[in-house]
Amino acid sequence: MTDSQQEYEFTCPECGQRFEVNGGMRDALLERGCPVCAATVPNDAFSAAMT
C-alpha cells in the first residue's frame, strides 16, 4: 500500500471535526489547514484508520 492509499483518521485540534482521509488528503490538510475552521493541522492530528 502506498502512502497515498493509506487511510488516516483526522481530528481537528481546534473544532474537533473528524473524518477519514487518504495520504494525499492528509498532505493537503497539513499544507492548507482544516477545511472547516482553517486551523493549522499538526502531524499528530492524524491516526491510522481502523478499517
What is the per-residue pLDDT for 14?
Answer: 97
Q: What is the pLDDT of residues 1-51, one digit of tens each?
A: 556 689 999 999 999 999 999 999 999 999 999 999 999 999 999 999 876
Whether the predicted model's global pTM rises above the 0.75 cut: yes
What is the per-residue pLDDT for 49?
Answer: 83
What is the per-residue pLDDT for 12?
Answer: 96
Structural element, H or E, at residue 47: strand 46-48
* Among the listed residues 36, 40, 42, the one whose alpha carbon sits nearest the alpha carbon of residue 18: 36
